[in-house]
Amino acid sequence: MQVTEFTESTMQLRCLMSANASSVAFDLRCFVRERMIQFLQRNYPQCLPTRRDFVTLNPGAAVAQPLTREVP
């Protein structure tokens, strides 16, 4: 594993691996990436990026408004 980029809020890691054929290498890269994400989701979910979206009720509005529901 190598740290390839590091900022005050992010770290980019590179997992190095090899295989005897390009198709096997591709499958291995996918497998390792998926397992790394699963590991982080299970053990360190707070370290993964989060996304907050806003829905505009008025497309012409200058500022996006959060979507709210009225409670009966």
Task: Give the model confidence (pLDDT) of 27-51 as tens digits.
Answer: 999 999 999 999 999 999 988 877 7
Q: What's the N-to-C CA distance of the chain in angstroms? A: 53
What are the two backbone dihedrals, phi and then psi, of residue 58, each rounded to the nearest 5 degrees? -125, 100
Tokens of 3: 């740290």
Joined tokens for residue 71: 């409670």
The whole-number pLDDT of residue 9 equals 82
Q: For residue 62, what pLDDT is reported?
A: 58
Task: Please tell me the distance from the alpha carbon of residue 64 to that of residue 53, in angstroms, as a whole number.
Answer: 10
For position 51, what pLDDT does the model report? 73
